[in-house]
Structure 1
Amino acid sequence: MLGIHEIWLFILSGLLLNVTPGPDTAYIIGRSMQLGWRGGAAAALGISCGCLFHVFGAAIGLSALLMTSSVAFTTLKWVGAAYLLFTGVQMLLSRQRPIADVTLQGEAPTLRRVFWQGALTNALNPKVALFFLAFLPQFVAADSPHKTAAFLLLGAIFVFNGTLWCLGVAGFAARAAIRIRRSSGVIAWINRTLGGLFVYLGFRVAMLEAR
């Protein structure tokens, strides 16, 4: 179908990649502990949308452009790094109070903001683009006349499975955090951890080099 081969291996590999803990998982857990299930779900859906951006990019050749054009790669790299560093520093400097008090005063991060942070973190990371460019073609025949459709289908499968896993992580973290979200100390720890994560990712993206 569409020149796709060994789809079972693709699904298995994708599941293993999805369940491997990483920055996305840490972000989802942090937002779930802050805002409950809805916050974690918004983070998970944002991350998935960011991945979809790269799936479409791989299908239409954007990822190939990033690999061959040092200007395009460098531009996206610095935009992504600047966004991540700005977000991380903003979270590190935010005032720390119990989440219940923050919510009452309307200062809690909105679900829309949580969603877009997750989406932009992935969309502005050229490393994710190069991952999809390297991963998806391994399961599509070189002589397939429907490579674009094949990339889109494989990407959709990968993102769908990943979204289910991330929503499960969000639900688990939200249930585990019900009794501790009212503690200002815990919220401070969560914000600093997330802020540190964004700063780390910003520096890591900035250090990427085009291949």
Structure 2
Amino acid sequence: MDLSLLIAFAAACVVISVVPGPDMMFIIANGIARGRTAGVLAALGMSTGIAVHTIAAALGLGALLQAAPIALDAVRIVGAVFLVYLAISTLRSARHVAEVAPERYGGRSLRRTYVMAVLTNLANPKVILFYIAFFPQFLTVGGWSTSVQFLVMGAILVVIGFAVDGTVGFASGALSALLLRRPAVQRWLNRLSAAIFGALAVRLVADR
């Protein structure tokens, strides 16, 4: 694979990663509601989802899903259900706010944050279409096989994406910690996070 193409791809990944999108909003919402650790874990979950998408694309599963629009519709609906669940659970937690810092959430809650981030990313059909439309522009004929090129580019995207998203998750959690001096503020931050999750669910269903 040509080094100049890899550099161009890495530069494009930086631009894509810093532009706010659904994944970043998901990470910010978790950082606001649950603190720095949750924000970083949400970013790690998104990167894990990207890694899974990369392997699937290398195996040709993305093209198979594109050929079956019904499958993409099902994926989109599942993703919306995940986000609605997160919105409802976050809204409920806003009604039972304890006077503790968000970093003190139990390990089970943090594990759930990571798992839900992975599932939300996997259930986003636009990520599949992104791989189909974007990655082939940087493929070269000869040398590395297409699968290997997909894996290398996916690894670059994961590293750059996590660096950006992890920073955003940590920053949003740190900002939340500064504001959580009163339980009322925490309740409103949780409501804001629930609104973000709900808006992402509506966007996923409505945007084709």
- Shorter-chain TM-score: what band? 0.7 to 0.9
Which residue is 1:177 aligned to? 176
Q: CA deviation at 1:177?
A: 3.1
Contact 1:43/1:118 (8 A) holds in 2: yes
Change (3 A) 1:10 1:99: farther
Alignment of 1:37-186 (within 5 A): 37-94=36-93, 95-98=95-98, 100=100, 110-142=109-141, 146-186=145-185
Per-residue deviation, residues 79-111 of structure 1 (Å, max 9, x unmatched): 22222222223323432424508888x779711
Change (3 A) 1:108 1:191: farther
Are 2:3 and 1:7 aligned? no
The residue type equivalent to 1:118 in the other structure is: A
Contact 2:82/2:116 (8 A) holds in 1: no
Contact 1:98/1:187 (8 A) holds in 2: no
The residue type equivalent to 1:28 in the other structure is: I
The residue type equivalent to 1:153 in the other structure is: V
Q: Which moved more, 1:123-132 or 1:178-187?
A: 178-187
CA distance in 1, matches of 2:23, 2:59: 25
CA distance in 2, matches of 1:108, 1:146: 41
Q: CA deviation at 1:145?
A: 5.8
Are 2:190 and 1:205 aligned? no
Contact 2:32/2:193 (8 A) holds in 1: no
User: Tell me, which stretches of 5 or more residues in structure 1 are unaligned?
Assistant: none
Per-residue deviation, residues 22-64 of structure 1 (Å, max 9, x unmatched): 2322332333334332121111101111111211221111211
TM-score, normalised by the number of residues in structure 1: 0.85
CA distance in 1, matches of 2:75, 2:185: 34
CA distance in 2, matches of 1:46, 1:40: 10
CA distance in 1, matches of 2:149, 2:188: 43
Contact 1:81/1:203 (8 A) holds in 2: yes
Q: CA deviation at 1:167?
A: 1.8
User: Tell me, which stretches of 5 or more residues in structure 2 are unaligned?
Assistant: none
CA distance in 2, matches of 1:175, 1:91: 19
The residue type equivalent to 2:52 in the other structure is: F
Q: CA deviation at 1:179?
A: 2.6
Contact 1:56/1:152 (8 A) holds in 2: yes
The DSSP-based 3-state class of the residue aligned with 1:141 is coil
The residue type equivalent to 1:159 in the other structure is: V
Change (3 A) 1:36 1:92: closer
Change (3 A) 1:149 1:99: farther
Percent identical among aligned pairs is 32
The DSSP-based 3-state class of the residue aligned with 1:165 is helix
Structure 1 or 2: larger helix share?
A: 2
Contact 2:139/2:146 (8 A) holds in 1: yes
Which residue is 2:20 aligned to? 21
Contact 1:48/1:163 (8 A) holds in 2: yes
